[in-house]
Amino acid sequence: MDKNNIKKQSVYISEEENTLNWMEIQNSFKKTFGSEIYNSWLQKITLVKEYNDYLILGIPTRFFRDWIVSRYLDKILEQVKGFKLSLNRIEFKIIEEQKNDTELSKIEELNKVTEIKDSILNYNRLNPNLNFENFVEGRSNDIALSYSKKVCEHLSRYNPLYICGGVGLGKTHLLNAIGLELQPDNNVMFISAERFMYHFIKSIKKNDMVNFKDFFRKSSVFIIDDIQFLRGKESLQEEFFHTFNSLMEKGSQIIISADRSPMKLDRVQERIKSRLAGGLVVDIDTPDLELKVKIIKKKIFELQSQFKENIDLSEEVISYIANESKTNIRELIGILNRVIAFSRVHNKILNVSDCKNILKDVFSQTRIITVDKIQNIVSSYFNIPLSEMLSQRRSRPLARPRQIAMYLAKKMTSRSLPEIGRRFANRDHTTVIHAVKTITRLSEQDDEMKKNINQIKNLLLDQ
């Protein structure tokens, strides 16, 4: 509440003494909660009786009361206290209205909008930590960053703004930052394409498309993440196309992200692709060493100020981490966190060879593991000749290792069951299924088996 408000209200209290002006309070609800929540819910509240320290408010139904109490009660009390400080409690009284059918259905209609809005808010809240301040600029993302900022200054100049790039390169971060920047003055909708589909399907099932359309078309800034999700989904594309057009028509700003450029979106209608490409397309590339080092340093700085602790990583270690992480920034941050966690737990300043050890699994997971390698390692782990392990003999000392090897082949390679079967002296895929089941069960029940499996996995990841 700003100073002016307080002044105005205290004057008001002294003039009117104990009598609240309900209309004025309603107006303040409208301002604080926004007209949508106000129209759907708060407008219906009436003042029944005013006491020195509490109010009795009238409300049409029990459902209404529960809804308001669970969502808005604290804020309502805070608001009315602004008009009369001595209030510390609110009671609700259900006042049955004489309603005809149309009125009832109107209320239900409004409830639906709020319902959509609520569930969307729950899943699509903007993350306050993904802002422009902590987005580190480098050669690979400077254009995307600069236009993301420009969009915020000049709404609808670059429309739509389309940001593309591979996973973990900062698309969602930028979209979120734009949303945060514009949220105070605009009706911002931030949603992933996947979530958009979820609501779309839910609305179809509930026979509620009118609300769905209204809801999404109301935003003045529409931010949609990971649009590649539309690929191959015809009816979703249809709906998106209409939403897109009507938003553009009314001059809303649209911001889109995808893992590829508009024209590379296969199985997406041509008319949509050309709309998407019709504004400004910017891309984010993989980070160079310089940007990776900058990001690591920034993250260390953030952690230090957040936890008030010293995080000591030498330049050498930093550049080792930056060099080792090849693919993306999400991975880079993951690796950094792992190193920091380790140095915390062991209370140790790490050198490069410590890091090498810590990160062994992270990097080795990308190494290629083949059925051959698995067979070789398993047979030498159990000290049996490979030819015996693959033979048709069924004695347990051979059968168990064989099953373990099949199990690992299923878990650690992308080979199909029949393919795996063939590699084990032409066995049937049902034999492989049986092996996977048996070892899964045993490794849950039997500590020795669990230990064996883990050791073999480590051997495989270690080479």
Binding letters toward Mg ion, positions 158-177, x by CB under 5 A: --------------x-----
From 61-69, 105-113, 170-178, 426-434, give the range in contact with ligand ADP by CB under 6 A.
170-178
Is the preceding omega at residue 160 within 30 degrees of 0, hence cis? yes
Quick check: 189 and 219 in contact, CB under 8 A?
yes
Residues 6+ apart with CB under 8 A from 80: 20, 25, 55, 87, 90
Interface residue with ligand ADP among 202, 330, 411, 429 (CB under 6 A) is: 330
In terms of CB distance, is 48 or 333 closer to ligand ADP? 333
Of the candidates 277, 267, 261, the one whose C-alpha atom is nearest the C-alpha of residue 164 is 261
Under the binding rule (CB under 6 A), the answer on residue 461 touching ligand ADP is no
In terms of CB distance, is 284 or 390 closer to Mg ion? 284
Q: Which residues pair with 348 in a beta bridge?
A: none
Interface residue with ligand ADP among 40, 79, 114, 141 (CB under 6 A) is: 141
In terms of CB distance, is 123 or 307 closer to Mg ion? 123
Q: What is the DSSP letter of 264?
A: G
Under the binding rule (CB under 5 A), the answer on residue 328 touching Mg ion is no
Rounded Cα–Cα distance for residues 172 and 187 (Å) = 19
Interface residue with ligand ADP among 47, 130, 280, 352 (CB under 6 A) is: 130
Which does residue 135 touch among Mg ion, ligand ADP, none (CB within 5 to 8 A, set by kind)? ligand ADP
Q: Which residues pair with 56 in a beta bridge?
A: 49, 91
Rounded Cα–Cα distance for residues 194 and 229 (Å) = 6
Rounded Cα–Cα distance for residues 463 and 404 (Å) = 19
Interface residue with ligand ADP among 41, 64, 135, 190 (CB under 6 A) is: 135
Which does residue 333 touch among ligand ADP, Mg ion, none (CB within 5 to 8 A, set by kind)? ligand ADP
Interface residue with ligand ADP among 247, 295, 377, 412 (CB under 6 A) is: 295
Of all residues in the shown chain, the one whose CB is closest to Mg ion is 172
Of the candidates 156, 155, 135, 153, the one whose C-alpha atom is nearest the C-alpha of residue 145 is 135
Interface residue with ligand ADP among 172, 203, 243, 452 (CB under 6 A) is: 172
CB atoms within 10 A of CB 210: 12
Which does residue 362 touch among Mg ion, ligand ADP, none (CB within 5 to 8 A, set by kind)? none
Shortest distance (Å) from residue 173 CB to ligand ADP? 3
Interface residue with ligand ADP among 82, 160, 168, 179 (CB under 6 A) is: 168
Rounded Cα–Cα distance for residues 409 and 48 (Å) = 72
Rounded Cα–Cα distance for residues 426 and 187 (Å) = 62
Binding-site size for ligand ADP (CB under 6 A) equals: 17
What are 58's two structure tokens? Answer: 């009238």
CB atoms within 10 A of CB 237: 18
Rounded Cα–Cα distance for residues 406 and 421 (Å) = 8
Interface residue with ligand ADP among 60, 82, 170, 262 (CB under 6 A) is: 170
Shortest distance (Å) from residue 184 CB to Mg ion? 24
Instruction: By CB under 5 A, name the binding residues for Mg ion.
Output: 172
Instruction: By CB under 6 A, name the binding residues for ligand ADP.
Output: 130, 134-136, 141, 165, 167-173, 295, 329-330, 333
